[in-house]
């Protein structure tokens, strides 16, 4: 792994800036391009580091976009020579988090901030009202579709019966009760540790 | 919905965060509960528990957050924070959403170096993933009730929702295409029904 120069940092930052405005539906939709750039083109991350970073962030609490921070962290760590690299590796890792997260968030949040403000100030306009009316059923269905896509990711129904049952039960519990969501997650994690899935 | 309500003083008496700090703490707390996605928690905490938003407002904000680039939950945090305290609120909600989870995920990245392939760790990740899929689907089912007041009418809402579901879950068409392909006709239809409704109301007055 060659040392990271200033122009490498800038390239990294600008690549995430360029992906930011393309990330409609969340940063996860730009994953294929991140992989092409970071793994195939620049070799800043290995393949397993790339997929491991995404899996880790999915399992951790918080917005899914934090997978970008883990990518940045690992890029910096690699450039600094890994955990064995000591303080300078940690510094590089934090710089990686800063460059990637600032890049992916700054353009999209700025645009959303001003667009949402405009929409709120003009909420009496017929076109703004029509937009909201039109989007409501689509958005509600998108949530159900996302739930379905994630469930289908469990693999075939017959082989992963208990995962499917767990998803169905938590769907019903969320829909019909006010049981705290953390209890459900804890139960899912515990079942997994016991080897039920 | 909000346009009709906001003429009444009742709305200003609705619960709202008392300070930027409260906003920051609320978003930190809900972000830390969001394993595998924060949206279900945003709905539960801010709409059902704290009642800072009505269900209809939540769906409207979510629609904007969805259609703009960037992470949806980050977008919705910005919008809600801005609504209560301007740019300071937006910043507080955004940092609340990101700061503590960032610390947690980086600590995990360091701690799990080497053990992430253990069967117990893999099993726990799988179990939590299955629950979070259910959280998202259940939140979608819960929001259906808010569509009753939609001016497009029940049948139009039903058809639009069904087409969206088929396009995304079954045909796996990219989101941008679905939003344009269904959103534009839906917008035209909603605009038409709103024009009719507005002119009827004007006729009555």
Last residue of a domain, one of A73, A94, A117: A117
B122–chain A Cβ distance below 8 A for any pair: yes
pLDDT digits (tens, 9 = 90+) for A146-171: 888 878 878 888 888 999 999 999 99
d(CA A162, nearest CA chain B) in Å: 9
Domain boundaries defined on chain B = 2-149, 150-205
Contact status, residue A23 vs residue A107, Cβ threshold 8 Å: no
Last residue of a domain, one of A87, A117, A147: A117
Is there a single domain that holds both residue A105 and residue A137?
Answer: no
Last residue of a domain, one of A83, A117, A151: A117
Is there a single domain that holds both residue A12 and residue A49?
Answer: yes
d(CA B17, nearest CA chain A) in Å: 19
Q: Which residue of A has its CA nearest to B36?
A: A58
Structure confidence at residue B11 (pLDDT)? 54
The DSSP letter of residue A4 is: P
Chain A residues close to B151, C-beta within 8 Å: 133
| Residue A1 belongs to some domain of the structure | no
Residue A129 to residue A121: CA distance in whole angstroms: 12
B160–chain A Cβ distance below 8 A for any pair: yes
**Average pLDDT for B104-112:** 87
ipTM of predicted assembly, 2 dp: 0.84
Q: What is the pTM of this model?
A: 0.82
A58–chain B Cβ distance below 8 A for any pair: yes
Is there a single domain that holds both residue A108 and residue A133?
Answer: no
Closest CA to B112 of A94, A74, A46: A74
Is there a single domain that holds both residue A138 and residue A108?
Answer: no
Residue A10 to residue A193: CA distance in whole angstroms: 42
Range of the domain at A155: 126-193
A138–chain B Cβ distance below 8 A for any pair: yes
Is there a single domain that holds both residue A41 and residue A68?
Answer: yes
pLDDT of residue B1 exceeding 60, the answer is no
């Amino acid at each position: 792994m060659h040392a990271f120069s200033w122009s490498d940092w800038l390239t990294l930052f600008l690549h995430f800036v360029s992906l930011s405005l393309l990330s409609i539906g969340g940063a996860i939709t730009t994953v294929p391009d991140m992989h092409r750039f970071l793994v195939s083109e620049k070799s800043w991350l290995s393949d397993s580091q790339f997929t491991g970073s995404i899996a880790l962030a999915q399992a951790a609490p918080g917005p899914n976009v934090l997978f970008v921070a883990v990518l940045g962290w690992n890029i910096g760590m690699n450039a600094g020579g890994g955990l064995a690299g000591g303080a300078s590796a940690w510094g590089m890792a934090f710089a990686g988090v800063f460059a990637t997260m600032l890049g992916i968030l700054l353009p999209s949040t700025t645009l959303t901030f001003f667009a949402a403000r405009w929409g709120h100030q003009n909420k009496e306009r017929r076109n703004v009202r029509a937009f909201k009316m039109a989007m409501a059923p689509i958005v509600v269905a998108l949530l159900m579709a996302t739930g379905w896509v994630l469930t289908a990711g469990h693999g075939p129904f017959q082989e992963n019966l208990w995962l499917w049952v767990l998803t169905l039960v938590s769907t019903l519990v969320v829909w019909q009760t006010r049981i705290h969501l953390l209890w459900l997650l804890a139960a899912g994690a515990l079942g997994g540790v016991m080897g039920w899935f | 919905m909000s346009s009709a309500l906001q003429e009444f003083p009742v709305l200003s008496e609705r619960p709202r965060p008392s300070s930027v700090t409260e906003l920051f703490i609320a978003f930190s707390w809900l972000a830390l509960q969001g394993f595998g996605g924060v949206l279900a928690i945003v709905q539960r905490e801010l709409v059902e528990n704290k009642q800072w938003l009505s269900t209809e407002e939540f769906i409207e904000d979510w629609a904007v957050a969805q259609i703009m680039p960037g992470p949806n939950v980050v977008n919705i945090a910005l919008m809600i924070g801005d609504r209560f305290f301007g740019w300071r609120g937006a910043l507080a909600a955004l940092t609340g959403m990101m700061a503590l989870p960032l610390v947690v995920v980086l600590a995990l990245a360091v701690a799990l170096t080497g053990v992430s392939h253990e069967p117990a760790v893999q099993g726990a990740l799988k179990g939590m993933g299955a629950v979070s899929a259910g959280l998202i689907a259940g939140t979608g089912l819960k929001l259906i009730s808010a569509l009753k007041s939609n001016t497009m009418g029940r049948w139009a809402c039903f058809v639009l929702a069904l087409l969206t579901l088929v396009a995304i879950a079954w045909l796996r068409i990219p989101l941008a295409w679905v939003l344009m392909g269904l959103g534009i006709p839906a917008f035209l239809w909603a605009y038409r029904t709103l024009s009719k409704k507005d002119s009827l109301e004007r006729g009555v007055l």
